[in-house]
Amino acid sequence: MSSFAIWIDREHAKLFEISPEKMERKTVKAHHTDHHTHQPNAIDHQNQDWHFFKEVTTYLTNADRLLILGPGVAKHHFRSYLTDHAPQLAKKLVGCETVDHPSDNQIAAFALKFFNLIVE
């Protein structure tokens, strides 16, 4: 069983794949076009977010459970993206929690506790 904790904002996503045997971490950066002479509109932002979310989703193919974490609205937008574009993954979503900017170790500890994988 692979559980994934995803900490996400508009700039990057940190993916933690957690199983009883291991924990692996991957970072996916958003590739936003940021031109000083061009003010992106809502459609531009949505298209950029969807491209980013699609890339993040490719790393979740063997997920049994998903936990989405993040400081702002990107986590909610990603959850909506999953519902609309990856419904099989959306069914595996077990939580969407607000957390500010924790360290990788704090994200891992939060996920282990959330998934009840802490061995005491």
Asked if residue 36 is part of any domain, the answer here is no
Mean pLDDT of 24-33: 85
Q: What are the DSSP calls for 60-105, one per residue? A: GTT-SEEEEEESSTHHHHHHHHHHHH-HHHHTTEEEEEE--S--HH
Residue 85 has a pLDDT of 94
The residue range of the domain holding 74 is: 3-31+41-114
Confidence band, pLDDT 50/70/90 cuts, at residue 117: confident
Q: Tell me the CATH number at 56.
A: 3.30.420.60
CB 48 within 8 A of CB 30: yes
Q: Does 120 map to a domain? A: no
Residue 60 lies in a domain: yes
pLDDT in tens, 31-61: 765 544 455 554 444 555 788 999 999 999 8
Q: How many domains does the chain have?
A: 1
pTM of the model: 0.84
